[in-house]
Amino acid sequence: MRIATWNVNSVRTRAERIAAFLEREDVDVLAMQETKTADDKFPYATFEAAGYEVAHVGVSQWNGVAIASRVGLDNVRDSFERQPAFAKKGAPSVEARAVGAVCGGVDVWSLYVPNGREIGDPHYDYKLQFLWSLADQVQPGELQVYMGDFNVAPREEDVWDVSWFEGKTHVTEPERAAFQMLLEAGLHEVTHENQYSFWDYKSMRFQKNEGMLIDFQLATKPMFERVQRAFVDVEERKGKGASDHAPVIVDYDTRGLAYDEVR
């Protein structure tokens, strides 16, 4: 089974490009983040025409997550247990940052971890709470993959110049410790062939390869042991209309699970 995760940075803007990617890379399950649309405006028809079922969680032009699958889509969940809420003002609400589903016998989650904005900002604490709560959801003995834009660079080599990030989010000790908690909860980071997954639109970051690794597939041991290959599709960051993130793609040997006759 080929599973990919991609912060698409507006699914309506890039629907046809995403569909072309699914066909070209022969993807079975795609987790998307920053769809930036409400459920009733999601371009379901584009995905259905390509043979995919879609579970989407979105309420506005902000955030939004989705799972597109051609190997089944069961037990859809629009949040995880004790997912923290947030609001700049007024009553906090649970944002569109997590969607889970069982696809071909595998429990997959598409996650858009809060950015954090600035150290000391309420959004920074919200980010840490989100990661802490997520760690509690992990079932180490089950076939699970938690993937998406984690907005954390867990190692020095995961950014092009760590000195540039001094005093900024994504690389702080609390963020990295929260990411480490996910691993200690029973997840394994699937490593891949390319160094970065995100290059900002500003300052020609992509052309200079001034990137960050903040998009991950984290698998429980039973799934991690099934990994065959993993890579970042850097080509998808090129050209007009590209997202500022590239897809992270992993091949898992899922023979013996549901839908193995398809893959």
Alpha-carbon distance values, 219 to 15, 109, 260 (Å): 27, 10, 19
pLDDT at 239: 92
Residue 77 three-state SS: strand
Q: Burial, 258: exposed, middle or buried (Cβ in 10 Å; 0-12, 13-18, 19+)?
A: middle
In tens, the pLDDT along 22-41 reads 999 999 999 999 999 999 99
Residue 134: which H helix or E strand, with range?
A: helix 122-135
pLDDT at 144: 98
Point out the residues of the chain with pLDDT beneath 70: 258-263
pLDDT at 259: 56
In tens, the pLDDT along 49-75 reads 999 999 999 998 999 999 999 999 999
pLDDT at 257: 81
| Residue among 157, 181, 183, 152 at smallest CA distance from 169 | 152
Predicted TM-score (pTM) of the model is: 0.96
